[in-house]
């Protein structure tokens, strides 16, 4: 099987996906590059254009060459040419199970979780419910109609799109003006609303090894420059600090790892995942799980791999091998 990095996408996280693909392409210089452009067409891309794009978090990558076709045509071509897809994608149909469904229907090997797990993980309320059944603590949900009363009760709320990542659309609700902003945002897409949980932000990755066993990677301690870990703080602020190894106590490190493993298993994730938490006085509180976490030079999951002593190329080769084994097993079933 030949390896193809499929990257980009048509949703808001396409910029981060291009930055992730730059890291993937540097680690795997012999892989083919397919760019899923904002217009929905997939193009064969050159390494020079991808690696020479110096503002990936702000500007779309230029398209080049003749299009392969839309994403369905690209998946069909991958099946005919026996390609393994290394997914440099985040959000939208790339992470909600739609792309995985197309790949599974065609027998195409792809990295990351399958369609069913991706659907659950991408739906934040569904992921929280699954994790809660596994014994993982998460914040209470608040209905939009009850947001005003909840604000009066808790003093502060936090709201985020139910199906989005990279901290797009994050809203902190501190008063009437924020409530109106939330209502306007929720009129265009579904939002998860929760009481604000005070504490230290953290994230913990899970890795599936060649034998199918799972390990929790060293957690990352997040110290945002302005106190809010939004898109600006994640990718554009030089003041944000992400510590790995963290300064957490051994008890907190163990609790984060245990809860990340529970969340990974609860949604049925495969390959790898990254769960986000707030550390409170009572312990970690689960926020969400990412089945295609960022792989940029500044992303959290690669920091955890490095702290564990796992080379980035070795990680990618391992994920490719897992993907190909799952595809062979599915064909044989």
CATH number of the domain where residue 47 is located: 3.40.50.20
Question: How does pLDDT run along the chain (333 residues), one tens digit per residue?
Answer: 799 999 999 998 999 999 999 999 999 999 999 999 999 999 999 999 999 999 999 999 999 877 999 999 999 999 999 999 999 999 999 999 999 999 999 999 999 999 999 999 999 999 999 999 999 999 989 999 999 999 999 999 999 888 765 466 889 999 999 999 999 999 988 899 999 999 999 999 999 999 999 999 999 999 987 655 444 545 555 678 999 999 999 999 999 999 999 999 999 999 999 999 999 999 999 999 999 999 999 899 999 999 999 999 999 999 999 999 999 999 887
- Same domain as 209, residue 126: yes
- Same domain as 219, residue 172: no
Angle subtended by helix axes 14-27 and 312-332, to nearest 10: 100
Predicted local confidence at residue 167, as pLDDT: 64
CATH number of the domain where residue 149 is located: 3.30.1490
- Same domain as 89, residue 35: yes
Answer whether residue 245 is part of any domain.
yes
Pairing of strands 171-173, 109-110: unpaired
- Its domain, for residue 160, covers 144-195
Task: Return d(Cα 167, Cα 217) in angstroms, integer.
Answer: 22
**Burial status of residue 92 (CB atoms within 10 A of its CB: 0-12, 13-18, 19 or more):** buried
Q: In terms of DSSP H, where are the helices of the chain?
A: 14-27, 47-51, 71-80, 92-95, 98-106, 115-122, 124-133, 147-154, 176-186, 231, 250-267, 300-308, 312-332
Predicted local confidence at residue 162, as pLDDT: 81
Number of domains in the chain: 3
- Same domain as 53, residue 105: yes
Predicted local confidence at residue 238, as pLDDT: 60
- Same domain as 206, residue 187: no
């Amino acid at each position: 099987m030949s390896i193809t990095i499929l990257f980009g996408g048509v949703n808001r996280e396409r910029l981060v996906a291009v930055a992730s693909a730059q890291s993937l392409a540097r680690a795997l210089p012999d892989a083919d590059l397919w760019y899923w452009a904002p217009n929905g067409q997939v193009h064969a891309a050159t390494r020079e254009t991808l690696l020479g794009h110096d503002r990936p978090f702000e500007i779309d990558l230029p398209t080049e060459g003749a299009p392969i076709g839309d994403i369905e045509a690209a998946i069909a071509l991958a099946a005919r040419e026996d390609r393994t897809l290394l997914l440099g994608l985040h959000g939208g149909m790339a992470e909600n199970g739609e792309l995985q469904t197309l790949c599974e229907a065609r027998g195409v090997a792809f990295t990351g979780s399958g369609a069913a797990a991706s659907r659950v993980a991408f739906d934040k309320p569904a992921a929280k419910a699954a994790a809660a059944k596994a014994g993982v603590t998460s914040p209470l949900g608040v209905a939009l109609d009850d947001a005003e009363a909840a604000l009066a009760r808790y003093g502060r709320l936090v709201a985020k799109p139910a199906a989005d990542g990279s901290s797009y659309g994050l809203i902190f609700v501190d008063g009437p003006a924020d409530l109106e902003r939330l209502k306007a945002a929720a009129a265009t897409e579904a939002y998860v609303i929760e009481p604000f949980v005070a504490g230290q932000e953290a994230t913990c990755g899970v890795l599936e090894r060649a034998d199918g066993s799972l390990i929790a990677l060293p957690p990352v301690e997040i110290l945002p420059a302005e106190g809010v870990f939004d898109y600006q703080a994640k990718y554009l602020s030089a003041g944000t600090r992400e510590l790995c190894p963290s300064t957490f106590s051994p008890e907190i490190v163990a609790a984060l790892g245990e809860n990340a493993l529970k969340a990974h298993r609860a949604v049925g994730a495969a390959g790898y995942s990254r769960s986000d938490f707030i550390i409170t006085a009572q312990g970690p509180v689960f926020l969400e799980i990412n089945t295609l976490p960022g792989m940029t030079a500044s992303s959290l999951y690669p920091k955890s791999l490095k702290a564990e002593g796992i080379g980035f190329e070795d990680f990618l080769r391992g994920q490719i091998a897992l993907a190909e084994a799952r595809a062979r097993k599915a064909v044989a079933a």
